[in-house]
Amino acid sequence: MPDFVRTGRRGWEWPHRWLRPADDNNDHDDDNDRSECYNDDHCAERINNHHTTNDHDHHDHGSADDHDGGGAVVSQDSLFELQRLDTESEVLNHRRVNLEQRTVLEAALVEQAGHQVEIDAVAAARVEVATRQRRHEDEAQIVATKVESDEARLYSGEVQGVKDLEALQHEIGSLKERQEGFEDLALEAMEEAEGLAARISSLEAARADVDARIATLRDEITVAEAEIDAEIERTSLARAAAAAETTPELVAEYEHLRPGFGSATVVRFDGSNCAGCPSSMPAMEVDRMKHEASGSVLNCHECGRIVLR
């Protein structure tokens, strides 16, 4: 087989002599040296070889294979299909990561945590209030016991003097006031505790609502993920089929270029422009592509994309 010819910035070129054995009259300049191939087998071979060599400007991807010249047919549609499926796969992965339910779930989890913090705080306050209530009840009880014992003394007849009786009655009166004071405080604490208990019930109901929403969202996410995973699997199988219809070298080159060009790594030559070039192609490059056989897989020397002629 002929050697590849390196031609400046254009990287690799097929030797003119090999393409057109009959046309040995090399009166073209370098840029016109890509004469149209009149032989279908040659064209197929060129397509095959174009991407089995690393001898071009854009990148290296493996060594040049021992080409058997078998003229393997590369389906342009397959390469486009490969690109389309990769884009579809990216969209699916993006959708999987950015499921709407995930955002809602995150908000619900924040809400759930907020409820729990509040429930814990109110529960702690309720314990404090209940302790205070018991303490006041105990204090009231101690004073009540003292009142009972004083009243027993009052009516026992053991205290005789008028002054002593008056003092005892006065003490009983004061003790009863204190007892009522403690009882009021205990009642106040009890009412406060009831308010806190109601608050906790309300918060727990709200949290139960969030818990239920979270469970539903998790179920929905699981279902959505399974659906997307099935789509990804289908896409992956279709991609393997599309890849099998082209060449490993071309797939490798496409994969090498894909990170830079994304869903427009493989583009068409519309007859006067590479569809990937941001502006019009130089006439020289247009001319070069026009002279390539229809069905060729080329590299655009302007933007670096894979161009299907």
Of 146 and 268, nearer to Zn ion (C-beta) is 268
Per-position b or e across 95-126, b if 16+ CB within 10 A of its CB: ebeebebbebbeebeebbeebeeebeebbebb
Ramachandran angles phi, psi of 280, nearest 5°: -60, 145
Q: Does residue number 79 form part of the binding site for Zn ion (CB under 5 A)? A: no
**Nearest distance from C-beta of residue 281 to Zn ion, angstroms:** 6
**Count of residues that bind Zn ion according to CB under 5 A:** 6
Q: Which of 37, 44, 92, 300 binds Zn ion (CB under 5 A)?
A: 300
Q: Which of 276, 278, 298 is CA-nearest to residue 287?
A: 298
Q: Taking CB under 5 A as the rule, which mask of x and - marks residues 262-281 in contact with Zn ion?
A: ------------x-xx----
Q: Does residue number 172 form part of the binding site for Zn ion (CB under 5 A)? A: no
Stretch in the footprint of Zn ion (CB under 5 A) among 175-183, 233-241, 249-257, 292-300: 292-300
Stretch in the footprint of Zn ion (CB under 5 A) among 86-94, 101-109, 135-143, 299-307: 299-307
- Report the run of H or E that residue 183 belongs to, with start and end: helix 162-244
Of 136 and 305, nearer to Zn ion (C-beta) is 305
Residue 298 β-bridge partners = 307
Residue 268 β-bridge partners = 308
Q: Does residue number 303 form part of the binding site for Zn ion (CB under 5 A)? A: yes
8 Å CB contact between 239 and 80? no
Q: Does residue number 81 form part of the binding site for Zn ion (CB under 5 A)? A: no
**Nearest distance from C-beta of residue 1 to Zn ion, angstroms:** 29
8 Å CB contact between 8 and 19? no
Q: Does residue number 150 form part of the binding site for Zn ion (CB under 5 A)? A: no
Maximum pairwise Cα distance, the chain? 151
Instruction: Give me the residues that bind Zn ion (CB under 5 A), please.
Output: 274, 276-277, 300, 302-303
